[in-house]
Structure 1
């Protein structure tokens, strides 16, 4: 009987490994000991074994989505200080954090001067989307334009467009901070057009919507891009103190207080 049970145990481990349920195979001995000690039913023990595999699989998939997303910081919405940035519509941001805007392929535009938290909010929404099981990709407008330009030169334009059309949520940061190359506005439009009514885009910019035609040098492309972005969109205009300057001021005050304390 002992030899038979030992063989059955090895066969079970082998079956789990063959099915690539490696975490369950590794946990098998521990779960069997737990089942014996706690007098678990066969169903409960099997459920616990498969739960371990499911949890490990979900952790791997989450890690893969995080690597693909290329989010620049580990920010979440809890990191954002709404009290210190009164220019942000907190009710709107909380609603966006439910990710309902992904269901109907709506877009989000964060518009405001540098340092007011546009990137932080977009990354926080992106992380929430990743954790909810969605494919997300983060890029700057300048990098997107450069990548599209290189793809066009190398004959990979369609592949590049398919890549940017793929994620459930595409975050395009810093539009307007750096001048786009000659065909940059056209490339950005084509990415937006590929995603139109199919998937969501978050875009951050320091250029007011009324100034896009002048800023991007092509009124026709700017109008067409805005038409698609704003068809289904939440626009969050942020006008408040700079997060970065506030941080520098706080640091300076701390240093000044320390110096004064030593002097006195």
Structure 2
């Protein structure tokens, strides 16, 4: 096995896949004396770290279960002039998460509440917050099922572990008193944490 093959094997064992993919480019730069060895190594490690950050963000976004990727920057505030643009843009700081505050987006169907909620969720994922997007009907179905199986406490704990829980379409369908009670328990459980 050549030194190069051994290096690539070592990088694979260390799970430095991005490093391995970019090694040859930087090796050529060093060979042609455009970069010092130290500069090349610094660039390779920076590239690996950025790759890992990007992969973590992708994983958080995938785990959040967004129905579609929609960013706040893509939202057409001219289409919905009743929405306070500055207030929404202020939410991008995510201070509400650090302050443990709830955000309610209230309005008629079709005004863009889901788009804005997803956009905030994406920002939260990019900043390392564990996020889940779920439709209210699906959430209540999961809670009812857990309640009937005697696993409600575990399910409540699962939903309470998310730093950002986005519940879409609350009030879209009529809610039975038992469902309202389950939703209240979840909100109360999250509030206590």
Per the normalisation by structure 1, the TM-score is 0.67
**Matches of 1:188 and 1:24 in 2, distance apart?**
47
Aligned residue among 35, 44, 47 for 1:40: 35
Answer whether contact 1:139 1:171 (CA < 8 A) is retained: yes
Counterpart mapping for 1:179-194 below 5 A: 179-194=174-189
Matching residue of 1:68: 63
Structure 1 gaps of 5+ residues are 199-264
The two structures, once aligned, show a CA RMSD in angstroms of 2.0
Matching residue of 2:46: 51
Matching residue of 2:134: 139
Counterpart mapping for 1:19-34 below 5 A: 19-34=14-29
Answer whether contact 1:138 1:170 (CA < 8 A) is retained: yes
Matching residue of 1:98: 93
Answer whether contact 1:130 1:136 (CA < 8 A) is retained: yes
Does structure 1 residue 122 correspond to structure 2 residue 113? no
* Structure 1 position 80, deviation (Å): 1.8
Aligned pairs, number: 193
* Structure 1 position 63, deviation (Å): 1.6
Runs of 4+ displaced beyond 4 Å:
none
Q: 1:116 to 1:39 in 2, by over 3 A?
A: closer
* Structure 1 position 137, deviation (Å): 0.7
Normalized per residue, the structure richer in strand is 1
**Matches of 1:37 and 1:151 in 2, distance apart?**
64
Matching residue of 1:14: 9
**Matches of 1:38 and 1:96 in 2, distance apart?**
48
Counterpart mapping for 1:77-226 below 5 A: 77-196=72-191, 198=193
CA-to-partner distance for each residue in 1:18-50, whole Å, 9 max, x for gaps?
222122123322321122224322221111221
Structure 2 gaps of 5+ residues are none
**Matches of 2:33 and 2:192 in 1, distance apart?**
53
**Matches of 1:187 and 1:35 in 2, distance apart?**
62
CA-to-partner distance for each residue in 1:120-161, whole Å, 9 max, x for gaps?
211111112122222211112111111011112223223211
